[in-house]
Structure 1
């Protein structure tokens, strides 16, 4: 039985998540940024430019590989890697199908059967597959495009109540939502995917009590909306989501939009030409926006005029973008991470986001 690099990475992460599930108790460092010409640092609630914040340990696997290097071992960073509290069902964080076999799907019917199989699986796909509508993704699954990646059309992937799911290196061109995470689903990681179109719907949605989700190194483009987190009917206590090193490329709004979310951490993303706004926090959501680069974004981040949420920002750089509208307090996340220097984000993300 051979293991895909994602399966190997997730297996290694089982032990790492247990040992490094808590962030350092030390006060974060406060280092001033040196913005490029024409850029402005955002301001904290006191009106002064805020310094950078980093945890004790860097995650070396979170950066893109250089040309000619072997494929890196990737592990999830953020909420998807966080174990359940004591008394949970024992899953330390997202591992996908790492404990099962690696199989190949060549068509929609075969893919649907494998995604709903009872056993853990790493499912590799190549070429173009027409999903033919919504396709359910069961627990303990890794779905990964190999080579230049897989192109999925004609539908969406639905993680409804499932746990421990990895979606990686997939290209999806859709007329609605591409990925829906809902129904109390947890430990879901969407990594190095490219999402296009979406019509008027958000390309990725995380709703209905879904929890412990990470969206990393994805490219969102040519869409009115990128990511929805929560909704009016969601209850507080779930919807913990991390978004890092994503490229919000011309997506007009909802990058993300968060409602009733317990904690949303948006760090080291590149926002470019976002016609309405970048990030918004509504209905008492708690959103921390850190170390992002906003370029040509009409309003970088907003707490909303009606039914606002809490919004805290730090270490962001704004180029031709309006200052954020702040509100309330948001705690730091409990996990280990180290943001990249904000000045480097455009180059890092353009090079590394989306399918390999």
Structure 2
């Protein structure tokens, strides 16, 4: 396998598919990523919209909840709260198709390794309004969701929408949702999705609402996906529209129909991932207008196609610093570190 050229302010040529790169050696002073990170990283730490970084409910009251009524009460309250989930909470379907809204400045974190939400999902964002095309002053922001198993929702497991920003979704287990596992759309921005385990799910990660939603999504949707375990999650890992830069690094793809797809002029920076038995690891020739994709240091094993590259993509270090693990280490460190009970 050939090594892809390293890039800073990356310019990529336009072959239909690139050569598959070998894993690059880390610098001597590089430290491997820590699964139980104390705080967010990636785009969730980039300043914007009057918010310096993502802190969730830090500084607010800490409560422990074990019933649906208490959980739904606290996630909707104004002001910062750290909401600790104990045991399994079954969310009602009610009149919202099982989607329950989270207000700004919240940390929702499971206790131990058996905290779970079942039967419903979390909505982070204002109600949908197609006429709103710029961030409103009351956009939902500064939300952290960690160490929860979320399954069995009748809609999405987590939905981020309507210009929500500074969201960190970390060390969760997602399965058996009726629609998306984590959908991010309608102008949302500055999000990190890290160290999660996705399994027994079809349409995993949608980034960007649809091909006609550029008025809300263009120039936004900046998201970091790293150290996630896509364990048989079939498609949309992620599927991206309109985002100017999306950083996908050190994820472990195992038995998927496709990994990442870039459309509608999205820019995907794909590095240090390990793809095993993935039919299409990376696509720009897909449904809708083509996107852009740069790739380096990925490993492909038993895949039917190479990663497609096209266009120019900005290096994520323009926005934040990070250290990538070697792609060769990903099949070991990601299953060991991703999911619940690791924080």
On whether the aligned pair clears a TM of 0.5, the verdict is yes
Indicate conservation of the 8 Å contact 1:56/1:336, yes or no.
Answer: no
Q: Structure 1 residue 198 and structure 2 residue 177: aligned? A: yes
Indicate conservation of the 8 Å contact 1:56/1:338, yes or no.
Answer: no
**Partner of 1:278: helix, strand, or coil?**
strand
**Partner of 2:70: helix, strand, or coil?**
helix
The structural deviation recorded for 1:59 is 7.1
Q: Deviations over 1:182-233 (max 9, x none)?
A: 010000000000000123x221100000000000000000111210000221
Q: 1:124 aligns with which of 76, 84, 88?
A: 84
Gaps of 5+ in 2: 1-5, 9-14, 93-97, 126-138
Distance 1:50 1:331 in 2: 22
Q: Structure 1 residue 141 and structure 2 residue 141: aligned? A: no
The structural deviation recorded for 1:304 is 2.3
Matches of residues 234-253 of structure 1 in structure 2 within 5 Å?
Answer: 234=214, 235-253=217-235
Q: 1:165 aligns with which of 140, 143, 146?
A: 143
Partner of residue 298, structure 2 = 316
Q: Structure 1 residue 80 and structure 2 residue 31: aligned? A: no
Residues 327, 159 of structure 1: CA spacing in aligned structure 2 closer, same or farther, 3 A cutoff? same
Distance 1:169 1:338 in 2: 23
The structural deviation recorded for 1:50 is 7.1
The structural deviation recorded for 1:49 is 3.7
Distance 2:29 2:47 in 1: 18
Q: 2:273 aligns with which of 292, 313, 320?
A: 292
Residues 343, 146 of structure 1: CA spacing in aligned structure 2 closer, same or farther, 3 A cutoff? same
Residues 47, 267 of structure 1: CA spacing in aligned structure 2 closer, same or farther, 3 A cutoff? same
Partner of residue 12, structure 1 = none
Give the structure, 1 or 2, with the largest relative contact order (CA under 8 Å, sep 6 or more). Answer: 2
Residues 125, 46 of structure 1: CA spacing in aligned structure 2 closer, same or farther, 3 A cutoff? closer
Indicate conservation of the 8 Å contact 1:188/1:214, yes or no.
Answer: yes
Residues 332, 57 of structure 1: CA spacing in aligned structure 2 closer, same or farther, 3 A cutoff? farther
Q: Structure 1 residue 332 and structure 2 residue 315: aligned? A: yes
The structural deviation recorded for 1:44 is 10
Matches of residues 53-68 of structure 1 in structure 2 within 5 Å?
Answer: 62-64=33-35
Distance 1:309 1:223 in 2: 25
The structural deviation recorded for 1:281 is 0.3
The TM-score, its normalising length taken from structure 2, stands at 0.83
Gaps of 5+ in 1: 1-25, 29-42, 65-71
The structural deviation recorded for 1:63 is 1.7
Aligned length: 303
Deviating above 2 A after TM superposition, structure 1's stretches of 4 or more consecutive aligned residues are 43-60
Q: Deviations over 1:63-116 (max 9, x none)?
A: 23xxxxxxx5511110001111xxx42x21100001112111121111111111
